[in-house]
Amino acid sequence: MDGFRVDAVPFLFETGGIPGAEDLDPHEMLSDLRFFVSRRRGDAVLLGEVNLPPEQLRDYFGDEDGDEMHMLFNFPVMQATYLGLAREDAGPVAAALTGLPEIPPDSQWANFVRNHDELTLDLLSDEERQEVFEAFAPDEDMRLFGRGIRRRLPPMLGGDQSRIRLVYSLLFSLPGTPVLFYGEEIGMGENLTVDGRMSVRTPMQWTDGRSGGFSTARRSRLPRPVVEGEYGPLAVSVADQRRDQDSLLSWMERMIRRRRESAEFGWGSFEVLDTGDPAVLAHRCDWEGSSVLAVHNFSAEPRVVSFRVDSPVEDGELDDLLSEVSSDHSWEGARLELKLDGYGYRWFRIRPADRQMAP
DSSP for 145-170, written as a single string: TTTEE---HHHHTTT-HHHHHHHHHH
CA nearest to 97, candidates 174, 195, 201: 174
C-beta of residue 244 within 8 angstroms of C-beta of residue 224: no
C-beta of residue 311 within 8 angstroms of C-beta of residue 334: yes
264 to each of 73, 118, 320, how far by Cα in Å? Answer: 19, 31, 15
CA contacts within 13 A on the Cβ side of 68: 23
**Helix (H/G/I), strand (E/B), else coil: 21:** coil
Give me the sheet containing 303-308, strands edge to edge. Answer: 303-308, 335-340, 329-332
Catalytic site residues?
A: 7, 49
DSSP for 166-193, written as a single string: HHHHHHHHSSSEEE--TTTTTT----TT
Return all residues near 351 (Cβ < 8 A) that are at least 6 apart. Answer: 290, 291, 313, 316, 317, 319, 357
CA nearest to 139, candidates 76, 181, 202, 199: 199
206: left (phi over 0), alpha (psi -120 to 50) or beta: alpha
3-class SS letters over 299-329: CCCCEEEEEECCCCCCCCEEEECCCCCCCCE
Phi, psi (deg, nearest 5) at residue 227:
-65, 145
**Helix (H/G/I), strand (E/B), else coil: 234:** coil
CA nearest to 231, candidates 156, 178, 135, 120: 156
- State the amino acid at position 88 in one-letter form: E
CA contacts within 13 A on the Cβ side of 278: 7
